[in-house]
């Protein structure tokens, strides 16, 4: 995620900087936290305290996310960015994700998340919260995005849960925490598709879809 920040600085300093889409993943157990998240709040949970030495702070907002082989992605673009322009960019990325997942046969269950639904847990864990740009399948959360807006550039960071072991870890948080009745629950692509879904497979689909999307007006 340090690369995201370097690319954002390049975008702000280079007038001809083209929009860039990055993919990456964390192989081992890693926890990322938003730029405003207090580490101590997350470390109050047993699971969070186990990852003190493997915590990465994101340049964007949001709470804590557990990563163990899932997919992360970033979008960096330059231009005079307004809040409405940011929203266009976020939904453009979300539409690409939905088109990428369509062949897996899970989109019949997709719904828009309830606005401003937040979970009360031991720490600020993203898996139990719903935001307007999250991917909610049925009543479960598959992934989400966070943004960092500047007057001349935008950074969007997102994640997609691929493996069952990632949701197992988060379920331990749910068992120890206090959740609201309508809080989201995490789910992985492996569970929804009924088979292992690999990082390279999703990135390849994403890149193929993105070429089609680039024929449209790409938000900046």
So where are the chain's domains?
Answer: 2-213
Residue with tokens 């069952």: 164
- Residue among 215, 216, 218, 209 nearest 96 (CA): 209
pLDDT at 62: 85
pLDDT at 118: 46
- Residue among 68, 25, 18 nearest 200 (CA): 25
Strand, coil or helix: what is 98? Answer: helix
- Name the phi and psi angles at 67, rounded to 5: -120, 135
d(CA 29, CA 37): 19
CB 174 within 8 A of CB 185: yes
- pLDDT per residue rounded down to tens, the chain (220 residues): 667 767 777 777 887 888 888 888 887 789 999 988 888 888 877 777 888 888 989 989 888 888 988 899 988 888 766 666 666 778 888 888 888 888 887 764 444 544 444 444 445 788 888 777 788 887 788 998 888 888 788 889 999 999 998 888 888 777 666 555 557 788 999 999 899 999 999 988 888 887 665 544 445 5
pLDDT at 108: 47
pLDDT at 160: 92
- Mention every residue, 6+ apart, whose C-beta is less than 8 A from residue 204: none
pLDDT at 121: 45
* CATH domain 2-213 topology: BirA Bifunctional Protein; domain 2 (3.30.930)
Take residue 118 and report the two structure tokens written for it: 């937040």
Determine the Cα angle at 173 with ends 115 and 170, to 5°. 75
Q: Enter the pTM of the model.
A: 0.83
Take residue 144 and report the two structure tokens written for it: 């989400």
């Amino acid at each position: 995620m340090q690369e995201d920040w370097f690319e954002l600085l390049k975008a702000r300093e280079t007038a001809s900087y083209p929009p860039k889409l990055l993919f990456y993943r964390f192989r081992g157990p890693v926890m990322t936290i938003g730029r405003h998240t207090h580490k101590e709040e997350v470390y109050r949970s047993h699971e969070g305290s186990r990852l003190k030495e493997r915590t990465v702070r994101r340049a964007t907002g949001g709470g804590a996310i557990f990563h163990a082989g899932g997919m992360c992605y970033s979008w960096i673009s330059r231009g005079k960015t307004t809040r409405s322009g940011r929203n266009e960019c976020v939904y453009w990325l979300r539409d690409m994700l939905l088109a990428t997942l369509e062949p897996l046969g899970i989109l019949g269950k997709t719904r828009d998340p309830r606005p401003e639904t937040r979970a009360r847990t031991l720490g600020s864990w993203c898996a139990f919260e719903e935001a307007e740009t999250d991917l909610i399948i049925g009543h479960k959360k598959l992934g989400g995005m966070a943004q960092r807006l500047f007057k001349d550039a935008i950074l969007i960071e997102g994640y997609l849960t691929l493996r069952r072991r990632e949701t197992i870890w988060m379920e331990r948080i749910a068992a120890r925490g206090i959740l609201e009745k309508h809080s989201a629950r995490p789910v992985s692509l492996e569970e929804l598709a009924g088979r292992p879904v690999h990082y390279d497979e999703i990135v390849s689909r994403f890149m193929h879809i993105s070429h089609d999307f680039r024929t449209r007006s790409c938000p900046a």
